[in-house]
Amino acid sequence: MSVVIAGAGMHPWGKWGRNFTEYGVHAAREALKDSGIAWADVDLVVGGETVRNGYAGYVAGSTFAQALGWNGARIATSYAACATGAQAIDTARARILAGMSEVALVVGADTTPKGFLAPNAGERWNDPDWLRFRLLGMTNPAYFALYARRRMDLYGATAEDFAQVKVKNARHGLENPYARFRKESSVEEVLASPMVSDPLHLLDICATSDGAAAVVLTSAEYARKHGIAAPVTVAAVSTVTPTFPNTVIDMPLLATDSSAVTGVPERTFKESIGQAAYEEAGIDPSDVDVAEVYDLSTALELDWIEDLQLCKRGEAEALLRAGDTTLGGRIPVNPSGGLACFGEAVPAQAIAQVCELTWQLQGRAEGRQVEGAKVGITANQGLFGHGSSVILSV
Amino acid sequence: MTATPVIEGWFTTGDEPRLLASRCTSCSNVVFPPVSSDAGAAAFYCRNPACDGTEHDAVELSRRGRVWSYTDAQYQPPAPYVAPTDPFQPFALAAVELPEGIVVLGQVADGFGVADLVVGTEVELVVETLDVDESGERTIYRWKPVTGQGDNA
């Protein structure tokens, strides 16, 4: 038994400040239309929770189901920081695999404020997410910059390499109708943008966006019976947590675990996210044709390429420089344009990665198609031990 | 006006300040920031999955370590960060690996920036003023590059 994606839909990413429900319903209806399945036939709605939109956001599954018109479907709401969308997909998949759902609709949508993502108001001396700002002035880009600087000192990455990731992704996203930023970029332009946290410039760091993405999941059997065109198999959904000791400093924490008692683990948290996906899908990293990874910063894309074992540690810059990760290269990364072209809409983003791979594997990614792609992988990581990797195949 | 730590129980002061950590009485796993009695029961549980300890001793961490990575803040971070100067002055940040197998984030000492650091630079803990409020100076631990003192960590 396997689970397939019967339809995918998105609302374009942007910055309009409208109600997230409007974006979510748009994406949901696009996904339903893509699948050819009627809303009345959906028996499960899983919403990705948004924490910035009040009660309606906390009960996103209910909010979307009600906005589409109560149809008696069961509902669930997932929250897993940046991995929210993947966890929502996992919840739907599990219920289908258990034979308890035939058609599940998974929706994530968000409206986001401008500027740095700041912690909630109030004094909270036991909350690391509050303390990191109060005691250290440690912003999200500062964490990304730590990882970027380490690549420079250990592997010889340069500011030009990071800028080149932006140039590549900007070019990839030019023809993507859902991307917010559709404009070529140059290395000079990135390097001339203001330095935020050395070595990362403003154009190395992704924005926050409004947006929504949705997928319709069914069993492979249901898809066959109902003549669903070009279903894409969900081969793996990895949402593993870290294994102690987590020895890479993670946002929003002020320190790592200590490795003194047990030694350094075989894999870092991010490596384990991808490894669990490969094991679940029963495939090898060399089988992957296309990857959508979380480029919160340009340098982070290079980390992910290695974390997903698409090359050896320290070799991602060589891959980039050779054009291997560009459309037409050996292993195109972020053909959608990635977060560089979208900006992050937290509860929608992991679903958007899956939408892009669905269209890539169906050969429908117009203007950005990875020719002959059969296997795709996503990756992301969020706060507090959340992360995800989804493998799709045809 | 007196100088007081901005947060209680995280570091000692004086000529040779040190970070204060909590060590599990069962398995000796060390955690920083230290376990706080105000943080609720979850804070007491030892993080080692092979250990069900809930008791901790306070221990001092090594004063010196090596830079795991580093960066700076060139824009003023949002509240609850309090800028000590107006206009805002950029400051550097470092993640430092201590002999206890733990990496601790901190600001870099006044007068030092990213140009003074590389991965592996030896640094030591100092205590400096973070900001000033109506009760006086609020102090914080910081990492200061060790210069001209040889390799004797």
Examine residue A14 and state whether it is found in any structural domain, yes or no: yes
B73 and A137 within 8 Å at the Cβ level: the answer is: yes
Residue of chain A nearest B70, judged by CA positions: A146
Would you place residue B150 in the very low, low, confident or very high pLDDT band (cuts 50, 70, 90)? very low
Domain count, chain A: 1
Over range A241-267, report the average pLDDT. Answer: 95
pLDDT value of position A46 = 98
A120 touches chain B (CB under 8 A): no
- pLDDT, tens digit, 9 for 90 and up, residues A341-357: 999 999 999 999 999 99
- pLDDT, tens digit, 9 for 90 and up, residues B33-86: 998 766 666 678 999 999 999 999 999 999 999 999 999 999 999 999 999 888
Examine residue A164 and state whether it is found in any structural domain, yes or no: no
Distance CA A51, CA A352 (A): 18
pLDDT value of position B135 = 79
A114 touches chain B (CB under 8 A): no
Examine residue B69 and state whether it is found in any structural domain, yes or no: yes
Examine residue B74 and state whether it is found in any structural domain, yes or no: yes
Residue that has been written with the tokens 């006006």 in this structure: B1
A261 and B79 within 8 Å at the Cβ level: the answer is: no
Task: Walk across the sheet containing B20-24 and list its strands.
Answer: B30-31, B20-24, B56-60
B104 and A196 within 8 Å at the Cβ level: the answer is: no
Domain count, chain B: 1
Examine residue A140 and state whether it is found in any structural domain, yes or no: no
Q: Given a cut of 90, is residue A256 above it in pLDDT?
A: yes
Q: How many residue contacts between A and B have a Cβ separation below 8 Å? A: 144
Residues 14-73 of B with CB under 8 A from A: 27-33, 36, 38-40, 43, 47-50, 68-73
pLDDT value of position B149 = 52
* Crossing angle of helices A20-35 and A60-68, rounded to 10°: 60
Residue A36's domain spans which residues? 3-115+209-225
Distance CA B54, CA B43 (A): 9
Residues 245-274 of A with CB under 8 A from B: 245, 247, 249, 253-262, 264
CATH number at residue A80: 3.40.47.10
Examine residue B31 and state whether it is found in any structural domain, yes or no: no
Over range A65-79, report the average pLDDT. Answer: 98
User: Which residues of A are part of the catalytic machinery?
Assistant: 82
Distance CA A62, CA A113 (A): 23
Report pTM: 0.95
Examine residue A370 and state whether it is found in any structural domain, yes or no: no
- pLDDT, tens digit, 9 for 90 and up, residues A117-147: 667 778 888 888 899 999 999 999 999 999 9
Would you place residue A227 in the very low, low, confident or very high pLDDT band (cuts 50, 70, 90)? very high
User: Which positions in chain B touch A197 (Cβ < 8 Å)?
Assistant: 71-74
Give me the residue from B30, B36, B76 closest to A258, CB to CB: B30
A137 and B33 within 8 Å at the Cβ level: the answer is: no
Q: Percent helix, strand, coil in chain A (nearest 5)?
A: 40, 20, 40
Q: Which of A98-107, A164-173, B49-58 has the lowest mean pLDDT?
A: B49-58
Over range A375-381, report the average pLDDT. Answer: 97
A135 and B29 within 8 Å at the Cβ level: the answer is: no
User: Which positions in chain A touch B32 (Cβ < 8 Å)?
Assistant: 254-255
**Contact yes or no for A371/A384 (Cβ under 8 A):** no
Over range A187-213, report the average pLDDT. Answer: 97
Q: Name the percent of chain A lying above pLDDT 90.
A: 93
Examine residue B4 and state whether it is found in any structural domain, yes or no: no
A197 and B104 within 8 Å at the Cβ level: the answer is: no
* Phi/psi of residue A40, nearest 5 degrees: -60, -20
Name residue A177's amino acid.
P
Q: What's CA A314's distance to the chain center, in Å?
A: 23
**Contact yes or no for A71/A369 (Cβ under 8 A):** no
pLDDT value of position B42 = 65
The alpha-carbon gap from B61 to the nearest alpha carbon of chain A, in Å, equals: 12
* ipTM, 2 dp: 0.94
Instruction: Indicate the SS3 state at residue A204.
Output: helix
Greatest mean pLDDT among A230-234, B128-132, B148-152? A230-234
Distance CA A389, CA A319 (A): 21
Residue B138's domain spans which residues? 64-145
Examine residue A369 and state whether it is found in any structural domain, yes or no: no
Residue of chain B nearest A194, judged by CA positions: B74
Examine residue A267 and state whether it is found in any structural domain, yes or no: no
Examine residue B102 and state whether it is found in any structural domain, yes or no: yes
- Residue B125, judged by CB atoms within 10 A of its CB (0-12, 13-18, 19+), counts as buried
* Phi/psi of residue A353, nearest 5 degrees: -60, -40
Examine residue B109 and state whether it is found in any structural domain, yes or no: yes
B91 touches chain A (CB under 8 A): yes
- pLDDT, tens digit, 9 for 90 and up, residues A29-48: 999 999 999 999 999 999 99
Computed over every residue of chain A, the mean pLDDT equals 96
Examine residue B21 and state whether it is found in any structural domain, yes or no: no
Examine residue A246 and state whether it is found in any structural domain, yes or no: no
A258 and B70 within 8 Å at the Cβ level: the answer is: no
